[in-house]
Amino acid sequence: MGSSSSSIDNIPNAQEIMQETGCELRFFGFSCLFFLLRRATDFEALRELAMNPIGDRIIGAFFSPGQERVDFPSFVQVLAHFRPTDTNRTRGGTQQEPANSSTRKLKFAFQLYDQDRDGKISRAELLEVLRAMLGLQVTEEQLQSIAERAIQEADLDKDNAISFDEFRKSLEKVNIDHKMSIRFLR
């Protein structure tokens, strides 16, 4: 089977990936998950993602447009957003904020809403997510009302959309680390 360090030697840029994500690639679970989850259909087979109303968007985050298989660096980089925040980890002055920081977790969540990547969550994008999450539990009129109220409350610059800063401010009382952490990824 070989040693765990020899398998890391086979991963291009392994040290850089570990530094950027804070993920310990020697952890056997990453390799197992990666070999089990290579295609979008593999992810779709996971009950938790299949039941998640925005599971397709989460799965999409692992793949570049037109890509059928996820590569290992992309897999670890996306999965790193779901690691619990490491309060003991320090970074150098030029080092990027870790993927599992509260800010990076919020940016990841923001991108699940901002499907056209214009830096704003539009009413239409918010309605798409609400429809996926609430489905037939509420009427279209109620969905419209929820979207309108959410935008009114979060939209500080009154441009009828939610920027990342507005998104972050509207969620400042939410424990994003708890909401976006998979505990076995410590």
Residues 70 and 23 reside in one and the same domain: yes
Number of neighbouring beta carbons within 10 Å of residue 52: 15
Q: Are the C-beta atoms of residues 112 and 61 closer than 8 Å to each other?
A: yes
Residues 106 and 179 reside in one and the same domain: yes
Domain count of the fold of the chain = 2
**90 in any annotated domain:** no
Domain-terminating residue out of 36, 53, 82: 82
Res. 2 pLDDT band, cuts 50 70 90 = very low
Q: Are the C-beta atoms of residues 126 and 134 closer than 8 Å to each other?
A: no
**67 in any annotated domain:** yes
Residues 169 and 113 reside in one and the same domain: yes
Higher pLDDT: 148 or 66? It is 148
Residues 133 and 174 reside in one and the same domain: yes
For residues 20-45, average pLDDT: 69
Count CA atoms closer than 13 A to 112's CA, side-chain side: 23
Higher pLDDT: 73 or 4? It is 73
Residues 72 and 113 reside in one and the same domain: no
Residues 57 and 123 reside in one and the same domain: no
Q: Are the C-beta atoms of residues 30 and 23 closer than 8 Å to each other?
A: yes
**Which alpha helices (H) appear in 62-139, and where do they start and end?**
72-79, 102-113, 123-134
pLDDT surpasses 70 at 31:
no
Containing domain of residue 70, as a range? 13-82
**166 in any annotated domain:** yes
For residues 80-105, average pLDDT: 73
Gyration radius of the chain over CA positions? 18
**151 in any annotated domain:** yes
Residues 69 and 136 reside in one and the same domain: no
Give the CATH number of the domain where residue 70 resides: 1.10.238.10
Q: Are the C-beta atoms of residues 151 and 123 closer than 8 Å to each other?
A: yes
Residues 78 and 104 reside in one and the same domain: no
DSSP code, position 162: E
Phi–psi pair at 182, nearest 5 degrees: -110, 110
Q: Are the C-beta atoms of residues 25 and 104 closer than 8 Å to each other?
A: no
Domain-terminating residue out of 82, 114, 138: 82
pTM, entire model: 0.77
**50 in any annotated domain:** yes
The pLDDT value recorded for residue 184 is 56
**142 in any annotated domain:** yes
**6 in any annotated domain:** no
**89 in any annotated domain:** no
Count CA atoms closer than 13 A to 46's CA, side-chain side: 15
Domain-terminating residue out of 36, 51, 82: 82
Residues 69 and 112 reside in one and the same domain: no
In terms of Cβ atoms closer than 10 Å to its own Cβ (0-12, 13-18, 19+), residue 74 is middle
132-143 pLDDT, tens per residue?
Answer: 888 778 999 999
